[in-house]
Amino acid sequence: MSALSISDRGEGRTYDVVVVGAGFAGMYMLYRLRGLGFSVRVYEQGSGVGGTWYWNRYPGARCDVESMQYSYSFSDELQQEWDWTERYASQPEILRYANHVADRFNLRPHIQFDTAVQACAFDEDANSWSVTTSDGGTATAKFVVLATGCLSNARKPDIRGLDRFKGPVYHTGNWPHEEVNFTGLRVGIIGTGSSGIQSVPVIAEQAKHLTVFQRTPNYSIPARNAPLSGEDRAAFRKIYPEVRRFAREEAKNGIYTEVPDRGALDDGDNERRCKYEARWARGGLTFMSVYNNLALDKGANDTAADFVREKIAETVEDRATAKLLQPTSYPIGTKRICIDTDYFETFNRPNVTLVDIKTNPIEEILPHAVRTGGKDYEIDALVLATGFDAMTGSVAKIDIRGRDGLTLNRKWAEGPKTYLGLMSAGFPNLFIITGPGSPSVLSNMIVSIEQHVDWIADCLSFMRDGGLGTIEAEPTAEEKWVAHVNEVAYTTLYPQANSWYMGANIPGKPRVFMPYIGGVGPYRQICNEVAAKGYQGFALTTPERARAAAVSGPRLLSRPASARMRRPATSPGNTDKVRWTISTIAPWSAWAIASLAQPETRRDHPCGSSGPRTCGPSDDSAPYVRASRRDSTTRHECRSGYLRP
């Protein structure tokens, strides 16, 4: 696998790796692989880098993770030199950052823009992928990495008459690159998810009148966005090592913040109210980390939901409008919570109307109006803030064919199936970055992207060093992982919401909870230990054995565990807090669920010991589940709690 010069376009080229997408995942994947000496071609359907931030240019678009954390950590020079200007970066600033990264690390010569990947087919005789692109070109690669993004396939709603509307129609997920001016226009916007909540206040300031068509109200927390001073940036840069370590290893969602030590009902009404008020005043996603059981206990969750509903009622002057804006049909946080700037205040403007399309669904779009409940709302321009076919939509657009011609779309027809969110059985040498079955959209995406990219890069180096031809998820490991992802999800409140986490926003899409909710830190440890055990749960073959398997039939030939090369696990780091994590892989039973509890939530010591020794079985090769609790005071690691699969 030697490096090749691939700055020119051409058909029939051969690479070690083809990467699909030049967003934050694709750019970092390119950076890592190029540094390891692999030949790489990145195909990007857009005209520039940035992925989600290249396409989502709607008014008010900005990240809901603070800018100093929503950034790469792989280069200390990069994080020290880039000056973020706001607490929450806007889309233009994030896109400038992405372009700076591409230029600083000279990534563009390896990226082919304005080129979509249309098909990928695995050749079992050659152990390689044939990639077909929208410009008619083809390429061959030993590995394909899908860096297509979780929120990049805009969903256009199927509404009668939409194609007959005479005015301009815009989708927040595919916004024009030139400025859109709504001054003097009557504008309608359908959808009140994150993009709707961010764009409504900005459009309302321009439009003659704005009509907001809402099906389901959303919980939203004030962003409290503000400029970042030089002193702010300098202070944060000093703690970057701890911020990054915490985000990777301890945070459930990859965000550096205080970790709660109690549940919501452990405090009295007044104390709890004070804590909610403080987080509301601070603003941002960390509102949901006031207590450690808001995602687990309905009674605790109700206290937070009631507080936000009260804030909406206090803010919105018209009582009927306030009631429509108050979510009541799902627990707070079970849909991705939104952050906003003056969203609820906007409904106090005389030029803004809220229309409930839950009670009276949209009947049709007329040439100059939206008809709902027998009433026509006249508009000159229409904005579709209807979201994405999340997590699987961008992959589904590609005709991917694995062993025996099986398509990935057919395999995933009843819901996506992966092992660790990284690979899907039957599709050798095909990796997915932040795919279904990984923390992905439940986390700071940059943290999860870097973890996946590093794991894949290390895996490919391992295969090259060991002379291996293919790697593929084993069906049994995949089945157990899918079951575990759902088992953990259903111990929380998340499945109670009809969210895009469940695919509920796409008609006909199977209702499956797609991301892994066990936490960024535990998930990272699981992945590390899979690799340390010779890529446990993956079938690894030499080129000769892979060809023999192709001739004899589709049966997977995996290397025996005793023959697998070993590599050291990444150290999870030290902490002065009691911490429960998963420390073995299959079959990820109830001890993984226990890891949902916050680190400070103390439990009775499983073995009753407090001495500096290790309890429990010592055979790491046994197929057991193990939960570890580390206590730096006693230096005791408890390995009790073994359960047979």
For the stretch 244-280, pLDDT in tens is 999 999 998 999 999 899 999 999 999 999 999 999 9
Residues in contact with 436: Cβ distance below 8 Å, sequence separation at least 6, in sequence order: 391, 392, 416, 418, 421, 514, 515
Mean pLDDT, rounded, for 186-208: 96
Q: pLDDT category, 590, cuts 50, 70, 90?
A: very low
Report the pLDDT value the prediction gives residue 414, as an integer from 0 to 100.
Answer: 82
Report the pLDDT value the prediction gives residue 324, as an integer from 0 to 100.
Answer: 98
Mean pLDDT, rounded, for 448-458: 97
- The residue with greater pLDDT, 638 or 464, is 464
Q: Among 528, 565, 536, 531, which residue's Cα sits nearest to residue 477?
A: 536
pLDDT at 641 over 50: no
Residue 18 φ/ψ, nearest 5 degrees: -105, 130
Mean pLDDT, rounded, for 499-506: 56
Q: pLDDT category, 63, cuts 50, 70, 90?
A: very high
Q: Among 439, 472, 481, which residue's Cα sits nearest to residue 586?
A: 481
Q: Among 376, 360, 356, which residue's Cα sits nearest to residue 368?
A: 376
pLDDT at 166 over 80: yes
Report the pLDDT value the prediction gives residue 393, as an integer from 0 to 100.
Answer: 56
Catalogue the long-range contacts made by 527-530 (C-beta closer than 8 Å, 24 or more residues apart): 527/420, 527/422, 527/451, 527/455, 528/569, 528/570, 528/572, 529/569, 529/583, 529/584, 529/585, 530/420, 530/585
**Residue in the structure block whose two tokens are 């690894």:** 540
pLDDT at 625 over 50: no
Extract the tokens encoding 220: 């939203």
DSSP string, 498-537: --TTTTTTSTT------S--S-HHHHHHHHHHHHHTTSTT
pLDDT at 140 over 70: yes
Report the pLDDT value the prediction gives residue 70, as an integer from 0 to 100.
Answer: 96
Mean pLDDT, rounded, for 571-587: 30
Report the pLDDT value the prediction gives residue 507, as an integer from 0 to 100.
Answer: 59
- The residue with greater pLDDT, 527 or 2, is 527
Mean pLDDT, rounded, for 220-235: 97
Q: Is 62 helix (H, G, I), strand (E, B) or coil?
A: strand
317-343 CB burial, b ≥16 within 10 A, e <16:
eeeebbebbbbeebbbbbbbbbbbbbb
Give the chain's domains with CATH numbers: 13-153+390-552 (3.50.50.60), 573-645 (no CATH)
Residues in contact with 75: Cβ distance below 8 Å, sequence separation at least 6, in sequence order: none
Q: How does pLDDT run across 539-565, given as a tens digit for each residue? A: 999 876 655 555 554 433 333 333 333
Are the C-beta atoms of 397 and 389 separated by less than 8 Å?
no
Mean pLDDT, rounded, for 117-139: 96
How far is Cα 563 from Cα 74, in angstroms, rounded to an integer? Answer: 33
Are the C-beta atoms of 600 and 493 separated by less than 8 Å?
no
Q: pLDDT category, 20, cuts 50, 70, 90?
A: very high
Q: Crossing angle, helix 520-532 and helix 240-249, to 10 degrees?
A: 80
Are the C-beta atoms of 582 and 516 separated by less than 8 Å?
no
Residues in contact with 235: Cβ distance below 8 Å, sequence separation at least 6, in sequence order: none
How far is Cα 220 from Cα 344, in angstroms, rounded to an integer? Answer: 9
Extract the tokens encoding 275: 């804590």
pLDDT at 499 over 90: no
Q: pLDDT category, 386, cuts 50, 70, 90?
A: confident
How far is Cα 609 from Cα 623, in angstroms, rounded to an integer? Answer: 24
Q: Return the top range by mean pLDDT from 110-119, 171-180, 555-564, 574-583.
A: 110-119
The pTM assigned to this predicted structure is 0.84
Q: For the chain, what is the mean pLDDT?
A: 83
- How many Cβ atoms are within 10 Å of 478's Cβ, its own excluded? 22
Q: Among 453, 433, 444, which residue's Cα sits nearest to residue 74?
A: 453
Report the pLDDT value the prediction gives residue 202, as an integer from 0 to 100.
Answer: 97
Longest dimension (CA), the chain: 77
Mean pLDDT, rounded, for 90-106: 98
Extract the tokens encoding 531: 């690799």
Q: pLDDT category, 442, cuts 50, 70, 90?
A: confident
Are the C-beta atoms of 513 and 502 separated by less than 8 Å?
yes
Q: Kind and range of the H or E element at 470?
A: strand 470-473
Residue 395 φ/ψ, nearest 5 degrees: -70, -40
CA end-to-end span of the chain, whole Å? 40
Sign of the torsion angle spanned by Cα atoms 473, 474, 477, 479: positive
Mean pLDDT, rounded, for 521-526: 95
**Residue in the structure block whose two tokens are 């008619």:** 136
- The residue with greater pLDDT, 336 or 209, is 209
Q: Is 421 left (phi over 0), alpha (psi -120 to 50) or beta?
A: left
Cα 358 from chain centroid (whole Å) = 28
- The residue with greater pLDDT, 581 or 553, is 553
Is the preceding peptide bond at 92 cis, omega within 30 degrees of 0?
no
Sign of the torsion angle spanned by Cα atoms 270, 272, 273, 275: positive
pLDDT at 566 over 60: no
- The residue with greater pLDDT, 594 or 160, is 160
Q: Crossing angle, helix 269-282 and helix 298-315, to 10 degrees?
A: 60
Report the pLDDT value the prediction gives residue 495, as an integer from 0 to 100.
Answer: 86
Strand 399-401 versus strand 186-190 pairing type: unpaired
- The residue with greater pLDDT, 457 or 559, is 457
pLDDT at 323 over 70: yes
Report the pLDDT value the prediction gives residue 501, as an integer from 0 to 100.
Answer: 62
Mean pLDDT, rounded, for 92-119: 98
